[in-house]
Amino acid sequence: MQHPTRKRPKDPLDHEPKAVQYARSQSGLTQQQVADRCGVSKSLITEIENGTRNATPSMLNRLAEALNCPRVVLERKREVISCPTPARQPMVECPNCGAANDPARGSTRCYACNLPLSGTGGDA
């Protein structure tokens, strides 16, 4: 069941609600017991497990300690952000033979006809 009117305080969350639930089930502790160990209210633990409230970094530390599991287990799995590929420079068309020359080659001469790519004009 979805609750469209219910807003999440933070998106994305710092923690993984399902991971917290799972870690707690593995520990055999109730939400109340975890709350007691963390020094917070049970409702906060419930909200963290439901994903309706974000677990702050310090809260994650306490949760990990209470559940006796590595903190990383409870953290949201962040997507690996790949480095953006540098924008490719457009190919330089040889004014003499029309061959497409890659400017990354660093050569001012056409790879096909070996004539200067800047043309015979003078607007280098």
Q: How far is CA 32 from the centre of its chain?
A: 33
Rg (CA), the chain: 29
Instruction: Identify which range of 9-17, 54-62, 69-77, 105-113 contacts Zn ion by CB under 5 A.
Output: 105-113
Q: Does 110 bind Zn ion (CB under 5 A)?
A: yes
Pick one of 27, 99, 107, 116: the residue that binds Zn ion (CB under 5 A).
99
Euclidean distance between CA atoms 87 and 64, whole angstroms: 43
Q: Does 92 bind Zn ion (CB under 5 A)?
A: no
Here the tokens at position 30 are: 């109730």
Nearer to Zn ion, 72 or 112 (CB): 112
Euclidean distance between CA atoms 63 and 20, whole angstroms: 8
Q: Does 13 bind Zn ion (CB under 5 A)?
A: no
CB of 91 to Zn ion, least distance (A): 12
Nearer to Zn ion, 72 or 97 (CB): 97
- 86: preceding bond cis by omega (within 30 degrees): no
Pick one of 91, 112, 118, 119: the residue that binds Zn ion (CB under 5 A).
112
